[in-house]
């Protein structure tokens, strides 16, 4: 098994074995304040949220290749990100827009607002079955 993480100080996404060996950078170009990541091992995808000058939701293969931006409009401070493996949906929460949204994880299409409201400062999100869990700062 592998573990993936973001390094905010150096704007990197890295991977290593669970015991810490074989550590290497998989994405180092074009990142500006990456926040959270989610991994879909079966499909071989890595997703991340990014703040910075151009907030977005990104997608790449687990080795960092074929990097694409799935969402770049109507997004400000995307924090947590989560995969619904049964429905093939990607969820994220945005602390600036006070929303939890989702898209098709393959195409990035069919964007939907799942939760929206004032006084909701979402920090992380998780999906399991028919339930959505989130933390509020």
pLDDT per residue as tens digits for the range 58-115 = 999 999 999 999 999 999 999 899 999 999 999 999 988 889 999 999 999 999 999 8
Work out the percent of the chain whose per-residue pLDDT is above 90.
66
Highest CATH level, class, for 2-136: mainly beta
CA atoms within 13 A on the CB side of 23: 10
- The predicted model scores a pTM of 0.92
Name the phi and psi angles at 120, rounded to 5.
-120, 105
| Integer CA distances (angstroms), 12 to 9, 32, 35, 50, 51, in order | 8, 9, 10, 11, 13
Contacts of 59 (CB under 8 A, 6+ apart): 45, 46, 47, 67, 68, 69, 70, 105, 108
Q: Per the structure block, which two tokens stand in for 77?
A: 């401070």
Domain ranges of the chain: 2-136
pLDDT of 45 > 90? The answer is: yes
| pLDDT for residue 137 | 67
């Amino acid at each position: 098994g592998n573990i993936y993480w973001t390094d905010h100080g150096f704007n990197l996404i890295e991977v290593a074995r669970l015991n810490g060996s074989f550590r290497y950078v998989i994405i180092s170009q074009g990142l500006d304040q990456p926040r959270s990541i989610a991994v879909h091992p079966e499909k071989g995808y890595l997703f991340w949220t990014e703040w910075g000058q151009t907030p977005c939701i990104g997608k790449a293969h687990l080795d960092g290749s074929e990097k694409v931006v799935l969402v770049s409009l109507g997004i400000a401070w995307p924090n947590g990100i989560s995969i619904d493996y049964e429905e093939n949906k990607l969820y994220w929460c945005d602390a600036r827009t006070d929303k939890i949204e989702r898209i098709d994880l393959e195409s990035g299409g069919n964007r939907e607002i799942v939760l929206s409201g004032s006084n909701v400062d979402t920090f992380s999100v998780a999906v399991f079955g028919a339930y959505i869990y989130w933390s509020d700062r």
